[in-house]
Amino acid sequence: MEPFVKHTGIAALLNRQNVDTDQIIPKQFLTKIEKTGFGQHLFHDWRFLADGKDNPDFELNHPAFKGATVLVAGDNFGCGSSREHAPWALLDYGFKVIISTSFADIFFNNCFKNGILPIKVDEGALESLMTEIESNRGSALTIDLEEQIISSPGGLGIGFDIDAFRKENLLKGMDQIAWSLQYVAKINEFEKKQASTQPWLWNHD
């Protein structure tokens, strides 16, 4: 994972509630265990017409949202099944931040594990962000993780809460495995000690 400290990027507006993981990445594309290659199928049923061409009515196909890295979405984003492919698809497409009033718990946790910052804001803050993006499509938001502030060109400054442990891991670019490897020396020391005092548990011969 790359460290996340401060990010500025085009904000795309997806003003829909209850966007579930089957819409984020439909089940027919869950054929790989690698994390890459899913971005091309993100929101497939909404992004494309039956003939495979872009759906001009889908929000993310608006020219002003091309290259967006911040997604501002409606309530209860990421509901439905627990597939981790959903944040994989969002990240592979280019999104680094998702802002909503609420997220499904498993999806929320999976975002942090994959280096995406999901931010919960209240309804008033979300409405202000959506209004500004709608009136000025293609504008960028700045997300300062250290200061925990979302800033907009129109002067919005919206604070957000985040668990201290998750914040530290994002700032350092560490997933759960990388966090554990910080303590590899202590782990080895513990195993060596246990092997000497309880050899019947540690003898693998």
Find out whether 140 and 8 touch, Cβ atoms under 8 Å.
Answer: yes
Q: What is the CATH number of domain 6-174?
A: 3.20.19.10
Which amino acid, 184?
A: V
CA 183, 166, 110, 95 dihedral sign is negative
Query: What percentage of the chain reaches a pLDDT higher than 90?
Result: 79
Could you give the CA distance from residue 154 to residue 168 in angstroms, rounded to a whole number? 29
pLDDT value, residue 177: 59
Mean pLDDT over the full length of the chain? 91
More confident residue, 4 or 180: 4
DSSP lists the bridge partners of residue 149 as 144, 159
- The pLDDT of residue 46 is above 60: yes
Query: What percentage of the chain reaches a pLDDT higher than 70?
Result: 85
Could you give the CA distance from residue 36 to residue 154 in angstroms, rounded to a whole number? 35
What is the residue extent of each domain of the chain? 6-174, 175-205
Helix, strand, coil abundance in the chain, percent, nearest 5: 40, 20, 40
Task: Give me the mean pLDDT over the 110-135 stretch.
Answer: 97
Angle at which helices 85-93 and 105-113 cross, to 10°: 50
Q: Lay out the sheet containing 6-14: strands in order across.
A: 117-120, 97-100, 70-73, 6-14, 140-144, 149-151, 157-159
- The pLDDT of residue 183 is above 80: no
- The pLDDT of residue 188 is above 90: no
- The pLDDT of residue 201 is above 60: no
- The pLDDT of residue 197 is above 90: no
Find out whether 121 and 160 touch, Cβ atoms under 8 Å.
Answer: yes
pLDDT value, residue 84: 92
State the pLDDT confidence band at 115, using cuts at 50, 70 and 90: very high
The first and second tokens of residue 64, run together, are 């002003």
Could you give the CA distance from residue 164 to residue 183 in angstroms, rounded to a whole number? 19
More confident residue, 126 or 176: 126
| Nearest Cα to Cα of residue 122 among 104, 145, 102 | 102
- Say which residue the tokens 């202590």 belong to: 186
DSSP 147: T
State the pLDDT confidence band at 152, using cuts at 50, 70 and 90: very high
- Say which residue the tokens 């309804």 belong to: 123
- How many CB atoms are closer than 10 A to CB 1? 16
pLDDT value, residue 34: 86
pLDDT value, residue 31: 87
Task: Give me the mean pLDDT over the 5-32 stretch.
Answer: 96
pLDDT tens profile 157-180 = 999 999 999 999 999 988 765 555
- The pLDDT of residue 113 is above 70: yes
User: Which residues does 37 contact at the CB level (< 8 Å), separation at least 6?
Assistant: 92
